[in-house]
C-alpha cells in the first residue's frame, strides 16, 4: 500500500478537518486513502448506518462518527459527499448553512449535470461545491471493502460550471483527488454525463442484459461458464438500487449510448446473417484494437 | 500449482505416449497439466511453428516436437487436437491412417457439431474420436501463456454422437479431462453448440460490439475507463481470426443467442424510455441474482 508521499500531496495542503458523508465503499476508501497520505489532522464520518459509523471509528480511520449532519460538517475544511447520486443535491442543501467560511465541498457520484447545478446553487457566499467523479469502484459494498489505493492511477472527473464555479476551489478540490493518486480530467458536467453514459453506464446495462437473458436458461448452462462470461457480467453483480438511481439521473445519455450499442450489435448480426466473414473479422479486429489501447493501471 | 494427485488421476491410467497437435495456449496447457499429473511416459508435440516446438521442448514439457503429423501420432495412445476449430476435422482425417489400434483422439475446440461428425467418420476401425471442449482459456496466446491449472474446476464438455461413439472411449477420454481437474459435462454436440453460443460466443460478441462502438469515440473517453469497462471488454482482446472461425462454425446458434440478447436490451431500452423505474430495477435485480449464483472456481 502507498504511504505518505510528499510529492503526491504537494498539490493539496494538509487540512484540519475532513468530513465524509456516507461511508460506503467510496466514502470509506476516500477516508482511508486520505489518512494513509496524512491529508488531514482530524476526520469526521457521517452515516445513518450505525455499523458503518462503528467500523470507521474502530478501524482507526475516523476520529468521530455521527448521524448529525450539522455536527459532521461544522468544522470541516473539506466535505466529501459519498452517498448515492440521488441524495447528493439534497445533502448539499442540508449542510449549506452549517458550513464554515471557506469550506469546500465535493462529491463522488456517477452523474454530474443535476448535482453540479443544485449543489452549486445551495452554497452560501464563501463556500464552494466542486463536483467530482472518480472512476473507481467495485461490485462490493460497505466500508469493509474500502481500499486505500482505490483511486491510484484512476481517472477522476472534475466538472466545474463554466464561469460560475470558483477557480481556486476547483484547483484545491482537484489537488485533493490528485493527492489520492487519481488523474484529473476536467470537463463540463454535461460532457461528463455523455462520457460516462458510454464508458460506465452502458457497459453496466450491457452486462445486466446479458445476465438477465441467461438467467432464463437452465442452471447447468451457468455452471459451465468460463472466464469470459464471468468477466463480462461481473458488474451485473452491483447494487441494483444504486444503479437504478444512476440510470434515472442519466437516462437521456444512457438511452443514446444504448441505441448506438444496439446499432453496433445489429451490424454484427447482419454480417453473421449474410455470412460476410470479411466484415465479421473487421469488427473483431476493431474490438481488439480498441482493447489493446487501454492504458495500464498500476 | 497442483502436483500429481493419485485420487484425481484414478479415472485415467498412465499412458505411454501423449500427442498434442497444436501447442498454443490450450495445447500447451494440456501438455503441461498432464505432465504435472504424470499422466504419460512420453509426449510428442506437433506444431507448424518452430518457435512453439522449441518452447515446448526447452521448457521440458515435451520429449519430442515435430512438424510431421505421421511421426507425431504414430505411437500415441491419446492424441489431443488443440488447433483452431476449422482445422480439427481436417487434422483428424489426415492423422487417421497413422493411428495405432486402440488409439484415442480428442480435441478442445469451441464448436462441436461439425467436428464430432467429421472426425468420427474419419476414424478407422478400432480408433476412436471423442469430442471435447474445456471451458478454459484466456485472451492471451501461445505456449508461454500455458498454465498447468488452466482446467482446474472448469467445466469440460464431452460430446459423443449418440449410439455411435464408443462408450469405453468416452469413459477414457472423460477420465483424461477429469484428471486435469475439469468437471465433465456430457451433452450432444448440438446441445453443446447451443449452450456455448449463449455462455461463451454471445458474451464475446457483446464485448466486441461494445469495444467496437467505443472505438469511434475520442481517445480521452477510453483513458477514463474504470474497472467495469475493462472487465466487460476483456475478451474483445482475443485473437480475431480464431473467433471469426468459431462464429463461422456456430453461426446459426450465435445468431439465435444474439437476437435473444437484442430482445433483452430492447426491453431495457423500452423501460428507460418509458421511465418505468420499477421495471428497470427488476431487470437490475435479475442480473444480480444470476451473477450471484455463479459457482466458485478454485
- Closest chain B C-alpha to A116 CA, distance in angstroms: 20
Residue B18: helix, strand or coil by DSSP? strand
Best mutation target, B226, B235, B236, B238, to test chain A (most A CBs within 10 A): B226
pLDDT of residue A227: 87
Contact A199 B222 (CB under 8 A): yes
Average the pLDDT over each of A115-129, A137-151, B100-114 and give the range with the smallest value: A137-151
The number of beta carbons lying within 10 Å of the beta carbon of residue B141 is 14
Residue B265 contacts residue A265 (beta carbons within 8 Å): yes
Q: Which of A204, A214, A239 has its CB closest to that of B198?
A: A214
The number of beta carbons lying within 10 Å of the beta carbon of residue B117 is 16
Contact B199 A214 (CB under 8 A): yes
Averaged pLDDT for residues A3-8: 40
B:131-170 residues touching chain A, CB 8 A cutoff: 135-139, 154-155, 157
ipTM of the complex model: 0.88
Report the DSSP beta bridge partners of residue B129: B105
pLDDT above 70 for B5:
no
B:256-295 residues touching chain A, CB 8 A cutoff: 258-269, 272-273, 275, 277, 280-281, 283-295
At B173-196, the pLDDT tens digits run: 999 999 999 999 999 999 999 999
**Of A96, A80, A171, A87, nearest to A134 (Cα)?**
A80
B:176-205 residues touching chain A, CB 8 A cutoff: 185, 195-196, 198-200, 202-205
pLDDT of residue A296: 74
Buried b (16+ CB within 10 A) or exposed e, A237-262: bbbbebbbbbbbbbbebbbebbebbb
Chain A residue with the nearest C-alpha to that of B222 = A294
At A247-294, the pLDDT tens digits run: 999 999 999 999 999 999 999 999 999 999 999 999 999 999 999 998
d(CA B102, CA B125): 9
- Closest chain B C-alpha to A285 CA, distance in angstroms: 6
d(CA B188, CA B134): 15
Residue recorded with cell 497444436: B22
Contact B235 A232 (CB under 8 A): yes
Q: Is A223 exposed, middle or buried (0-12, 13-18, 19+ CB in 10 A)?
A: middle
Contact A269 B287 (CB under 8 A): no
The number of beta carbons lying within 10 Å of the beta carbon of residue B218 is 10
pLDDT above 50 for A20:
yes
Q: What is the DSSP string of B175-237?
A: HHHHHTTPEEEE--HHHHHHHHIIIIIHHHHHHHHHHHHHTTS-HHHHHT--HHHHHHHGGGG
Per DSSP, B294 falls in state P
d(CA A189, CA A192): 5
Best mutation target, A152, A155, A182, A228, to test chain B (most B CBs within 10 A): A228
Strands A132-134 and A155-158: antiparallel
At B48-95, the pLDDT tens digits run: 999 999 999 999 999 999 999 999 999 999 999 999 999 999 999 999
Residue recorded with cell 478454459: B136
pLDDT above 80 for A193:
yes
Contact B286 A219 (CB under 8 A): no
Contact A200 B136 (CB under 8 A): no
d(CA A18, CA A79): 6
pLDDT of residue B3: 37
Cβ-based contacts of A280 with chain B (< 8 Å): 244, 247-248
d(CA A244, CA A253): 14
Strands B155-158 and B183-186: parallel
Contact A290 B211 (CB under 8 A): yes
Residue B205 contacts residue B256 (beta carbons within 8 Å): no
Amino acid at each position: 500500500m502507498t504511504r505518505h508521499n510528499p510529492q503526491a500531496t504537494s498539490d493539496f495542503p494538509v487540512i484540519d478537518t475532513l468530513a465524509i458523508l456516507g461511508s460506503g465503499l467510496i466514502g470509506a476508501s476516500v477516508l482511508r486513502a486520505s489518512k494513509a497520505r496524512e491529508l488531514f489532522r482530524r476526520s469526521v464520518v457521517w452515516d445513518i448506518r450505525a455499523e458503518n459509523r462503528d467500523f470507521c471509528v474502530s478501524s482507526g480511520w475516523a476520529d468521530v462518527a455521527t448521524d448529525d449532519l450539522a455536527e459532521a460538517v461544522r468544522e470541516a475544511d473539506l466535505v466529501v459527499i459519498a452517498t448515492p447520486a440521488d441524495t447528493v443535491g439534497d445533502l448539499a442543501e442540508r449542510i449549506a448553512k452549517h458550513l464554515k467560511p471557506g469550506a469546500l465541498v465535493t462529491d463522488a457520484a456517477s452523474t454530474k449535470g443535476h448535482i453540479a447545478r443544485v449543489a452549486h446553487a445551495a452554497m452560501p457566499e464563501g463556500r464552494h461545491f466542486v463536483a467530482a467523479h472518480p472512476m473507481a469502484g467495485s461490485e462490493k459494498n460497505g466500508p469493509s471493502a474500502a481500499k486505500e489505493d482505490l483511486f491510484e492511477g484512476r481517472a477522476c472527473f472534475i466538472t466545474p460550471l463554466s464561469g460560475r464555479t470558483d477557480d481556486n476551489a476547483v484547483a484545491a478540490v482537484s489537488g485533493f483527488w490528485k493527492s489520492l493518486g487519481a488523474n484529473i480530467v476536467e470537463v463540463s458536467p454535461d460532457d461528463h454525463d455523455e462520457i460516462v453514459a458510454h464508458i460506465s453506464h452502458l457497459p453496466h446495462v450491457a452486462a445486466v442484459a446479458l445476465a438477465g437473458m441467461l438467467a432464463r436458461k437452465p442452471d447447468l448452462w451457468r455452471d459451465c461458464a468460463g472466464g469470459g462470461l464471468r468477466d463480462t457480467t461481473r458488474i451485473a453483480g452491483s447494487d441494483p438500487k444504486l444503479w437504478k438511481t444512476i440510470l434515472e439521473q442519466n437516462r437521456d445519455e444512457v438511452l443514446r449510448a444504448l441505441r448506438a450499442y444496439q446499432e453496433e450489435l445489429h451490424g454484427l448480426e447482419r454480417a453473421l446473417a449474410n455470412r460476410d466473414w470479411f466484415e465479421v473479422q473487421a469488427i473483431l479486429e476493431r474490438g481488439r484494437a480498441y482493447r489493446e489501447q487501454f492504458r495500464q493501471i498500476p
